[in-house]
Structure 1
């Protein structure tokens, strides 16, 4: 089933294209693969990046849109990514980067293409666990800039995944989010005057 990739805001795409066309921006990027790429570079697969967090007193995690991320493709593969951020003047280029999440995102998107059901792909960042997941939202027509994972949405941890999470294994959000919540929510700790554990 084809994925329904949401359109990125036009200013975000324009800012990435401008950065790719700027020799200074590419040369100063900490991305050797981008600087040494042969042939034209193009931004593809725009994905909204939502950050998941739990505020003190909240029972459920909340998300906020933090960026739009573009895979930067050379002739045969993605060599880097570009993030954009929302400023007072609208969406603008933030930075280029590379690393294992580039190939991992491509792999997860290919895997998702073979899944049944229509999905809108997004990225879910869980900073407290140093974790990034492909978030397959079950409503392909939803506004990609908002919302939280629904129970039947699918979350696919990307590689490298933190200990205890299998990379590239799809999970229903209803199954994975409680595990994530437990891992990032500190417990009450020992009571004062309690005996020390043996």
Structure 2
């Protein structure tokens, strides 16, 4: 089924296009593959990046943290660009590369082969150093708002934390207990003895 990619705010896209057109921004980026790209580069697949702030008996809480664009050159993504919301509106944040770009593309291809249509988003769980592709069941929803529904799918991207399989879809309702357990155990692991 086709994925229904939510439209990014026009100012977010403009800031990425401006950064891509700036030799200084590209040259100073810590992304060798972007600096060495031969041919035109284009921002594609804008995905809202939500951060999981809370999982407790009162429910889950997420917030929009960024819009991420995969930067393509020819047939492959060579980098990504994040934007952030500032008091003056959307602003370019940074370019980056690494395993999450390839993992995001793989998870998106995997989602396109599913029987149900989804709206793709990214969900970050900072305390676990985990990023997931969040497949939201309401394709008409505003990609910048909301929280995972029990039937939404989360696909952990590689590299995933130990004990969590990368690229294996989980219904949010079934995955939430594992996340909650991991998040409540994390402070115990990091506190001094």
Q: TM-score range by the shorter chain?
A: over 0.9
- TM-score, with structure 1 as normaliser: 0.91
The 3 A distance-change label for structure 1 pair 188 and 107 is closer
Structure with greater helix share of residues: 2
Q: Verify the 8 A CA contact 1:61 1:181 in the aligned structure 2.
A: no
Q: 1-side partners of 2:126 and 2:12: how far apart? A: 23
Aligned length: 188
The 3 A distance-change label for structure 1 pair 156 and 187 is closer
Residue by residue over 1:19-54, the C-alpha shift from the partner in whole angstroms, topping out at 9 and shown as x without a partner, is 000000000000001001110000000000000022
Matches within 5 A, 1:39-188: 39-54=39-54, 59-186=58-185
Using the TM superposition, give the Cα deviation of residue 188 of structure 1 relative to its aligned residue in structure 2, in angstroms. Answer: 10
- TM-score, with structure 2 as normaliser: 0.94
Q: 2-side partners of 1:127 and 1:187: how far apart? A: 11
Larger Rg: 1 or 2? Answer: 1
The 3 A distance-change label for structure 1 pair 187 and 145 is closer
Q: 1-side partners of 2:80 and 2:22: how far apart? A: 16
Using the TM superposition, give the Cα deviation of residue 60 of structure 1 relative to its aligned residue in structure 2, in angstroms. Answer: 2.6
Q: 1-side partners of 2:122 and 2:186: how far apart? A: 27
Unpaired runs of at least 5, structure 1: 190-198
Using the TM superposition, give the Cα deviation of residue 159 of structure 1 relative to its aligned residue in structure 2, in angstroms. Answer: 0.3
Using the TM superposition, give the Cα deviation of residue 58 of structure 1 relative to its aligned residue in structure 2, in angstroms. Answer: 5.7
SS class of match (2:59): coil
Q: Verify the 8 A CA contact 2:42 2:73 in the aligned structure 1.
A: yes
Unpaired runs of at least 5, structure 2: 189-193
Q: CA RMSD in A?
A: 1.5
Q: 2-side partners of 1:9 and 1:130: how far apart? A: 27
SS class of match (2:79): strand
